[in-house]
Amino acid sequence: MSTTRHHLNRQRRLSAARTVRAETPPTRSAAPASTTAPGSLGTLPAPGAPGTEPEEAADARLRGESPQAEPPPEPGGTRSEAEAPQGEEPQSKSKSKSGSEPEEPGPEPGKPAAPTAAAPTRTPRLLLAVLGILTLLLGAFAGLGFSRSAALEDDPAGRNTALTDLARTSEVKGKAGELVGSLFSYDYADPDKAAEAAATLLTGKAVDQHRALLADVRAQAPKQKLVLTTTVTDSAVERIEGDRARVLVYADQAGVSTAGGPAKSKPKKQSGKDEQPDAKDGKDAAGSDSTEGGASYAGAVFTLDLLHKDGRWLVSGIDTFGS
Amino acid sequence: MTRPIAHPLLLAAVLLTLLAGSLAAWAGWSWYGAAHEDSGGYAAERDEVLAAGEQAVQNLNTLDHRRLSGGLDLWEQSTTGELHEQLVGGRADFEKQVEQAKTVTTARVLSGAVTELDDRAGKARVLIALRVTVRAPEGEPSDKDSRMVGELTRTAGDWKLSALGQAPVGDTATG
């Protein structure tokens, strides 16, 4: 026990002597606080005489805690800090540490508790405190800044690039027009074309939605020799978020039936209804359907969800606002 | 300080502070960037236009014969320019018509989107699909869908409808 301590102490003494040299001669502990403090505290702004005693007492108390906070394998000056608690029993043997005995009753203000050991620690303590507060403030600002910028970027308005990305917006609009033309047109003479469009341009729930919308058209087209052509007359991009987009479409559906005169307008309307039942109804009620030169026109309104997949835009959802 | 090697803790603290400082700088930069991104402001304006347009179109398709005056005031508040003048000019006649018909008209926006937005000129164009329900004293209420096309103008910071009409049918169809 005593041998290891002795050994440790000698090491400390040696290292202290090496690093501390002139400032901390072996007899340093004997020197009064007032004489040593100025020497080692030269850079401290407030080493003023009035505050010295209580401050150092406080330091001594603080030092009691310091060994836990500070990394253990430290040579030199910090070692001298760490001595305070450890040095109680064994240091009394070593002559250079004889002064550390008074450290034991640290709280006593009257005795300058290892003033020389306290002196070098005060500068870093204050600095550490300042740095710590600075770190906390900067860290708090960083946290605030990141969260605010994330909030701003997460803002739904910012995520939606409709209109803000004009190239993408017009691409989506153009594609929506092409897709509507392909998917909602039907020629009784060439049903394979419509089938192919449905097979290649639809994905997800749009497959079933499209099938339901065109069911009647497919059923009636052969009988009525129906040619249905759907053209987008106006559209607006509601949202674009990455690979997904939603477009509001106003379309005209022109139906031409060559099966017979009187049957013309009715089947066409029906076919239109089948595609966009509510829109059709609305249009009928609004009187926006028209018949010109043997073809009937019906206005439709619906939204398309588009999905950009493998370099192509596909329809992933069709909403005709059906009730 | 006089013996820097003697205070690795101090060194660590300085490094931590520097790290926090650079993080703070980075955060500040991205915060500033996110807040001043031009498209962000434009996107917000776009959404504001859409909200104002949808509300105004809904207002203009909502009228209760029992609360005519308030309803028509709202029509006038929602509009500006020529449309506003038309509404003000035709108000008296329209009031008579609705009082006789005793209809209650309500509207629900199905979907809407902005097609054009010139935020400098303060002009925008919107498409708004609307389902209008008309209840007359007799008979079932009738629903109809309207494909509205509206033009909005910014007046004193607010977007108001300056034109409103139904999308035409049959114009562009080529058969």
What is the pLDDT at residue B76?
A: 94
Give the closest of A131, A164, A285 to B142, CB-based.
A285
Which residue, among A214, A198, A195, A202, has the nearest Cα to A253 in the 3D structure? A214
CA dist B151 and B160 (Å) reads 8
Q: Do B23 and A142 touch (CB under 8 A)?
A: yes
- Please tell me the least confidently modeled range out of A122-136, A254-268, B128-142: A254-268
What is the pLDDT at residue A258?
A: 78
- Interface check for B156 against chain A (CB to CB < 8 A): the answer is no
What is the pLDDT at residue B59?
A: 95
> What are the tokens at A190?
């060439």
Answer yes or no: is pLDDT of A122 > 60: yes
Pairwise pLDDT comparison (A185 vs A50), residue with the higher score = A185
What is the pLDDT at residue A149?
A: 82
Residues in chain B with pLDDT < 50? 1, 4, 173-175
> What are the tokens at A238?
């509601």
What is the pLDDT at residue A193?
A: 92
Q: What is the pLDDT of residues A171-184, one digit of tens each?
A: 999 999 999 999 99
Q: How many residues does chain B have?
A: 175
pTM confidence score: 0.60
Residues of A in contact with B14 (CB under 8 A): 131
Q: Which helix (H) or strand (E) holds B74?
A: helix B68-78
What is the pLDDT at residue A150?
A: 81
**Residue in chain A lying closest to B23 (CA):** A142
Q: Do A250 and B167 touch (CB under 8 A)?
A: yes
Q: Which helix (H) or strand (E) holds A301?
A: strand A295-309
Complex ipTM value? 0.79
Percentage of chain A modeled with pLDDT above 70: 48
- A4 band by pLDDT with thresholds 50, 70 and 90: low
Which whole-number Å values give the CA distances from B169 to A270, A321, B147, in the listed order? 16, 19, 10
Answer yes or no: is pLDDT of A124 > 50: yes
Chains A & B: contacts with CB separation below 8 Å: 234
Instruction: Please provide residue A315's backbone torsions phi and psi, each rounded to the nearest 5 degrees.
Output: -85, 120
Give the closest of A76, A141, A285 to B144, CB-based.
A285
- A259 band by pLDDT with thresholds 50, 70 and 90: low
Using the structure block, give the residue that is written with the tokens 């035409």.
Answer: B168
Q: Do B3 and A288 touch (CB under 8 A)?
A: no
Residues A284-295 have a mean pLDDT of: 46
Residues of A in contact with B110 (CB under 8 A): 301, 321
**Residue in chain B lying closest to A137 (CA):** B20
Query: How crowded is residue A228: how many other Cβ atoms within 10 Å of its Cβ?
Result: 26
* Mean pLDDT over the full length of chain B: 88
> Which alpha helices (H) appear in chain A, and where do they start and end?
2-20, 33-40, 49-69, 77-86, 115-154, 156-159, 166-183, 191-201, 206-224, 265-275, 277-286
